[in-house]
Amino acid sequence: MTTPAIESRLPQVGTTIFTVMSALAQQHGAVNLGQGFPDFDCDPALVDAVAAAMREGHNQYPPMAGVPVLREAVADKIERLYGHRYDPGTEITITAGATQAILTTILALVHPGDEVIVLDPCYDSYEPNIVLAGARAVHVPLTARTFRPDFDAIRAAIGPRTRALLVNTPHNPSASVWTAGDMQQLAELLRGTDILVIADEVYEHMVFDGGQHESVSRHPALAERSVVVSSFGKTFHVTGWKVGYVAAPAALTAEFRKVHQFNVFTVNTPVQYGLARYLANPAPYLDLPAFYQRKRDLFRDGLARTRLTLLPSQGTYFQVVDYSAVSDQSEEAFCRRLTTEVGVAAIPLSAFYADGRDQRLARFCFAKRDETLASALERLARL
């Protein structure tokens, strides 16, 4: 038998660098600081809340948009933090994680022939999502090494086919954070246009040193044209549960749900009820900046005693380092050697650029137990 020939929808796409480096780390017994997930458990109270929901019989299909009690809890949280009230019935949708939310947003709101501006370096799902919608990604680099938005470059990239702009803050992979001034400049730049904003805010509760997360929800001129994506998995250390949410004006939400109902339909019922119960106490997400800042500081203090040069880490659970004092290898080659010979896995920043630009930078994830970080630092000290 011969399998019929097909034309790939994503001919340039292979296995992601995150999967490759995690497999390499496992093969060589390396400490995996590459892929961005915690190696510690979530709060047992959250597991208990989900188990209770199962025992209470919440095991069948929920409403397509998500169980009302969770949508209400999300709307309350956003209003409490950012001062903007989304209607739980028409403006909040529970999703199967943030990656699905972003794909669904693009499929719903972007059409063949449109252009979507993405700011490099960026999460690797963005461009394939845009391609699947029949649109074109227009890549605009953030400023070198500081990873700030270059509004002159964004303005120059806007054209008659620009449909949307993807914004990610706190930023993966650089750990930079947009300021209120940045958001005000973005609002002014888009004033008078029909350009949408897709705001990837999955690390919203991880901003350090007393800073605050500038959600587009906080800025009325942006909220009215934006789809906000966030992740319970990132916030509550349960990345494997794959549950997130989208908040957007009713007209955008209506289009989002048209696609959502056919590519996911709905999301795990008992987890939704468990999350709703858990959200009644805001402490777990309000305490998250201090929780991760302590880990960041522990990790940075150890890295400062190595030959690696630290870039700022203002948010997320990532740390970028410059390894040019250690090696002149390409980023991918260095990260592979770091994994196989030193025993610590990292991700090359070049993997987040459309043009694969190489700046001798690598990204570590510090969402790990203290002993995991200590083991990694001991190995990195040998560089």
Location of each CATH 3.90.1150.10 domain in the chain: 17-42+286-380
Its CATH class, for the domain covering 44-281, is alpha beta
Location of each CATH 3.40.640.10 domain in the chain: 44-281
pLDDT tens track for 197-235? 999 999 999 999 999 999 999 999 999 999 999 999 999
- Which stretch of 11-20, 63-72, 176-185, 369-378 has the lowest confidence by average pLDDT? 11-20
* pLDDT reading at 361 higher than 90: yes
- Identify residue 358 by its one-letter amino acid code: D
* Strand ranges across the sheet with 347-348: 309-310, 318-322, 361-365, 347-348
pLDDT, mean over the chain? 97
Confidence of residue 1 (pLDDT cuts 50, 70, 90): confident
Superfamily name with CATH number, domain 17-42+286-380: Aspartate Aminotransferase, domain 1 (3.90.1150.10)
pLDDT tens track for 231-252? 999 999 999 999 999 999 999 9
Closest CA to 341 of 304, 372, 302, 383: 383
pTM, to two decimals: 0.96
The average pLDDT across 130-152 equals 97
Give percent above pLDDT 90 in the chain: 95
* pLDDT reading at 84 higher than 90: yes
Distance (Å, whole) CA 204 – CA 236: 12
Residue 285: which residues within 8 A CB-CB, separation 6 or more? 77, 205, 235, 236
Confidence of residue 13 (pLDDT cuts 50, 70, 90): confident
The average pLDDT across 106-121 equals 98
Closest CA to 36 of 25, 56, 22: 22
